[in-house]
Amino acid sequence: MIFSIIKIEEGVSVPYGTETNYWNAVELCESLDKGKSVSAEIVRKNDGFIYYSTAHAKYKKNYERFTLDEWQAKKEIYSSAKAVKSVYIDIDGTAAYWYKDGKGLSYPEEILNHKYHYYRDLEPHKYIIDLALALQEKGVDVCVLTATAREVFSDRWEWIEKNMPFIPKDNIFMCPIGADKNNFCKGNADFSILIDDYEKNLDEWRGKTFKSINNINSISRNHDNIGTAACEAIIRRGDNQEYNRKLSMDVNRIISALERLNIGKGRNVKPADNIKERLESLYAYFAGSAELELDYDEETKSWKVMSYSNGEATQVCGRSGNPIYAFYSIPKNDVIKALDSTGVFYVN
């Protein structure tokens, strides 16, 4: 791939040269910018996509130093734990709306194309934004932690600056799509909170979890829930008093949960001995259904909830209509042991 280096001086862009090595291009940009009133950027020659700019904020540039392949291969960035409890908030489906139809754009051709600015223009979830601000005003260390494709770093950053300008730049954390979020924060996941809409991320998180219930997902039986869509319906009908009451309640229960976490004490939730309680809770959710079974799914490394009636098996779905999977990231044998001791589900 050929990278074009552009020098920008007094608002005028001037082609400076080309490089085939990305890291050499970064070093060249930094040398052009050093001690001078100019900036420099790396541009993909075929479509003008800006990979890197010396004018970008320091913390944003920390991410832009990776090529597309290097970014997707990253397994962790921050590893040494900081002695602070944090609340990490996801963007897609949590702080921002997520659209099943991609707002008419195709994935990945258009949604990941910087020219369409899909991620920059996502509508914010007002309730989560208000919740984040209220927590910060109470002295909580509020951070953003979101999975992001390398192509849309700039759009993602612009969205945060526009909709959550109160978040300090060094409290913005991004990880590759599908990565373990525990490995891309301050190293304090064990004693911090994650607010996310995606069950897999919540199951993997080593600290305390809250699921944001939006317009397309369903209530969790394994995690505490935040009624994002319901609270936004309250404000739409003009009931400010009830909205503020709900907001205050959620702020208080998140702070209470944060206070119960112990710094430096290792994993705080979801150890193997807690699986039995979660199984019973999951079973109770489907009380009165036909015969129930848990089937292990090798592809997702999780368990499918199956309902048997008249000899036919059907995968159980949540209120959103999506099939239910449980116990992501929990070792298979640990779940089997708990199943043997509870007897609430048949096992396949």
**Structural domain ending residue among the three candidates 229, 260, 291:** 260
Domain count, the chain: 3
In sequence order, the 6+-apart residues with CB closer than 8 A to the CB of 246 are 227, 231, 234
Is there a single domain that holds both residue 148 and residue 112?
yes
Residue 82: per-residue pLDDT: 64
Domain that holds residue 180: 86-260
Q: Are residues 222 and 90 in the same domain?
A: yes
Please report the pLDDT score of residue 270 as a whole number: 44
Residue 218 lies in a domain: yes
Do 175 and 119 fall within a single domain?
yes
Q: Which residue has the tokens 């229960």?
A: 253
Extract the tokens encoding 254: 């998140």
Q: Does the predicted TM-score (pTM) go above 0.85?
A: no
Asked whether residue 81 is domain-assigned, the answer is no
Beta-bridged to residue 308, according to DSSP, are 291, 313
Same domain, 181 and 326: no
77 inside domain: no
Q: For the chain, how far is it from start to end, CA to CA, in angstroms?
A: 49
Whole-number Å distance between alpha carbons of 313 and 328:
22
Cα–Cα distances in Å, from 336 out to 47, 199, 348? 52, 20, 10
99 and 49 both lie in a single domain: no
Please tell me the predicted confidence (pLDDT) of residue 80: 53
pLDDT per residue over 228-281, tens digit each?
A: 999 999 989 999 999 999 999 999 999 999 998 887 654 444 444 456 666 766
Contact (Cβ atoms closer than 8 angstroms) between residue 98 and residue 214: yes
Clarify whether residues 147 and 20 are in a common domain: no
CATH number for 235: 3.40.50.1000
**What residues of the chain score a pLDDT lower than 70?**
1-2, 10-11, 20, 22-23, 33-37, 44-47, 49, 51, 55-57, 78-82, 264-278, 280-291, 300-301, 309-311, 317-325, 327-330, 341-348
Residue 156: other Cβ atoms inside 10 A: 24
What was the pLDDT predicted at 319?
A: 47
* Residue 123 and residue 240 share a domain: yes
Same structural domain, 156 and 205: yes
Sheet with 12-19, edge to edge strand ranges: 12-19, 3-9, 38-44, 50-53
DSSP 207-257: SEEEEE--SS----SSSEEE-HHHHHHHHHTT-HHHHHHHHHHHHHHHHHH
The residue among 260, 289, 307 that closes a domain is 260
Q: Is residue 90 situated within a structural domain?
A: yes
Phi, psi values for residue 243, rounded to 5°? -60, -45
* pLDDT, position 105: 92
202 within some domain = yes
> pLDDT above 90 covers what percent of the chain?
37
Q: Using H for helix, E for strand and C for coil, what is the string for 63-91?
A: HHCCCHHHHHHCCCCCCCCCCCCEEEECC
Determine how β-strand 208-212 pairs with β-strand 224-226.
parallel
DSSP 26: H
Residues 21 and 106 in one domain: no
Q: Are residues 316 and 200 in the same domain?
A: no
How many Å apart are CA 193 and CA 167, to the nearest integer? 16
**Could you tell me if 7 and 149 lie in one domain?**
no
Give 148's DSSP letter. -
199 neighbors 218 (Cβ within 8 angstroms): no
pLDDT at residue 78 in the model: 62
Q: How many residues in the chain?
A: 348
277 located within any domain: yes
Residues 240 and 91 in one domain: yes
Residue 68 within a domain: no
Torsion, Cα 117 123 125 131, to 10 degrees, reads: 60
Structural domain contains residue 61: no
Residue at a domain's end among 15, 36, 55 = 55
